[in-house]
A and B are shown apart, each in its own frame.
Chain A
Amino acid sequence: MSEKRLAGGREIVLPMSKAVEISFRSLKIRFGRSLITTSGVILAIAFLMSVWSSNAIVGSLRAVNKSEINLLLQKNGIETGLAESGEASAEAQASMLEEESKQTWLISLSLLVCVVGIANAMLMSVTERFREIGTMKCLGALDSFIVKLFLLESTFQGVAGTTAGIIIGFALTFLLALLDYGGYVLDYFPLSKIAESAGFALVVGTSLSLIGAMLPAYRAAKMEPVEAMRSDT
């Protein structure tokens, strides 16, 4: 056998079902540790969802333009100056924009912190598992397998954390809104807007988890099998 290409046999594969199984179990075994990373996602997404829900509910109540509701809104510091044509006054619009950009800034910052937290936790996980990764490479795992495993783990964390965050964020805002505005919240509940927000939040949360895991996954994949041999640790 003197050709450069080694002959015979099938290729090297990692079936998706197996990859999912390994990733899921790795997550379970480090549950305590992954909870800390996940809580970062939960909090950030809860914040995002609560802001969006709050905007949706308040927006829906403002649009109704009933005096009793407007009174409640004003009590909570919300501008209700809707003119006859249904357009908000110039002042009200300006302050609304300012409020929105402040919110966007806050949300973006919290999401960024979240991503950094995920990246950090995953990097730690990679460093701790150098032997496992090296061993898998000795068994024939391709770099892409390792990347797949870490990205899958992060996705599971992301989905779980995001879902929890969406529920918590919405629930808190909903309860607070009930306290502030009573039954009107239920009468004018912006279901489609909330569902839309939840969908967006899910996408955002999962994407962030993936992004946060990219650098760590790359580092893991580049690890040399020789690392597994090191018996000093």
Chain B
Amino acid sequence: MTETAEGAATAAPKEEKRTVVRTQQVKKVYKMGEIEVHALRGVDMEIYTGEYLSIMGPSGSGKSTFFNMVGGLDKPSEGKVYIDEVDVAQLDAYELAWLRCRKIGYIFQSFNLIPVMTALENVTLPMVFAGLTSDEARDKGMELLGKVGLGERHSHKPNELSGGQQQRVAVARALANDPAVVLADEPTGNLDLATGTEIIELLREMNSHSGVTIISATHDHKMLSVSDRVVWVKDGQVERVANREDLDIEVTHVQGE
């Protein structure tokens, strides 16, 4: 059993881990008129392949900013972000689009399905961008919809689906091109307790079956029990990182965070 040479952020030693996302002293400064807002003040983080990581923190803590960095949606003011050992800041628009199409899947709080398209078309849109033929895309799309339990509703438009169903479609869409990472921004934010739990379960299933890395930014404490690691962000820095084993003991304390 080997231990990684990282600081406080070691997970329980599994087999050899690969890093899928890595940040190095990432800083982000926003200029709001005259005032400079330091959203991130130097974050070092390694996210391993196949892990389920939750990023938690209050509004304004830099959680969303960090999330955007890690997801290739924003570039740091200082420091580096590596996705699969590729420096995100060096990529041009085309390469970034390629990254988002093939390597990363996104899940949003407000589902963000294209309203004019059916569930199947929504799921297959990334495949269209990736150059799959209609047949290939349709077959794969149906398979994915089946996995999330919406096989019969493939021809329904988003306005004919409930919130939970829409989010399931979004999960299927995120997995369209077999990404390395799935980024979920408050996936249960607009869902009630029961539906939220379903979605968290679904994500956990996807994580354990296909080994896709899941990074989620969330307020939802239900997410804690399925995460391999949890990162707490406060004031633009990583306040704390905890592994699931440690969390199980701290369940009562966590509620107060």
Contact = CB atoms under 8 A, between A and B. Distances in A.
B150 to A, nearest CB: 19
B93 A143 contact: yes
Contact of B97 (A1, A4, A18, A142): A142
Contact of A140 (B86, B112, B129): B129
A32 interface: no
A67 to B, nearest CB: 62
A12 B110 contact: no
Nearest to A225: B73
A1 B131 CA distance: 22
B102 A139 contact: no
A58 B19 CA distance: 80
B242 to A, nearest CB: 25
Nearest to A10: B131
A228 B116 contact: no
Contacts of A134: 112
A167 B131 CA distance: 42
A4 B91 contact: yes
A6 interface: yes
Given A6-B98, A226-B73, A229-B64, A138 B106 contact: yes
Most buried by B among A2, A22, A138, A228: A138
B126 A135 contact: no
B126 A131 contact: no
A76 interface: no
B212 to A, nearest CB: 16
A14 B68 CA distance: 25
B100 A225 contact: yes
B199 to A, nearest CB: 16
B86 A224 contact: no
Interface string A1-40: 1101110011111110010001001101100000000000
Contact of B116 (A2, A5, A11, A29): A29
Contact of A229 (B91, B98, B108, B115): B108
Contact of A6 (B64, B86, B106, B189): B86
A139 B116 contact: no
B205 interface: no
Interface string A204-233: 000000000000000000001110110100
Interface in B172-190: 173, 185-186, 189
B100 A139 contact: yes
Interface in B148-178: 173
A229 B67 CA distance: 10
Interface in B94-110: 94-95, 97-103, 106, 108-110
B49 to A, nearest CB: 13
Given A1-B84, A12-B94, A140-B101, A231 B110 contact: yes
Contacts of B87: 4
B126 A13 contact: no
B68 A226 contact: yes
B80 to A, nearest CB: 13
A141 interface: yes
Contacts of A143: 93
B86 A229 contact: no
B131 A137 contact: no
A10 B74 contact: no
B179 to A, nearest CB: 10
B130 A140 contact: yes
Interface string A23-65: 0011011000000000000000000000000000000000000
B129 A139 contact: yes
Contact of A18 (B64, B128, B173): B128
Nearest to A11: B131
A22 B130 contact: no
Interface string B121-145: 0000110111100000000000000
Interface of B: 64, 68, 73-74, 84-87, 90-91, 93-95, 97-103, 106, 108-110, 112, 114-117, 125-126, 128-131, 173, 185-186, 189
Given A6-B102, A131-B112, A135-B114, 10 more contacts: A11-B98, A12-B98, A13-B128, A29-B116, A137-B97, A138-B106, A140-B102, A143-B93, A145-B129, A225-B73
List the 3 closest pairs (A to B, CB-CB), nearest first: A140-B101, A10-B131, A25-B116
15 contacts: A4-B87, A6-B102, A9-B130, A11-B98, A13-B128, A13-B129, A15-B128, A18-B128, A22-B116, A25-B116, A26-B116, A140-B98, A140-B126, A226-B68, A231-B108
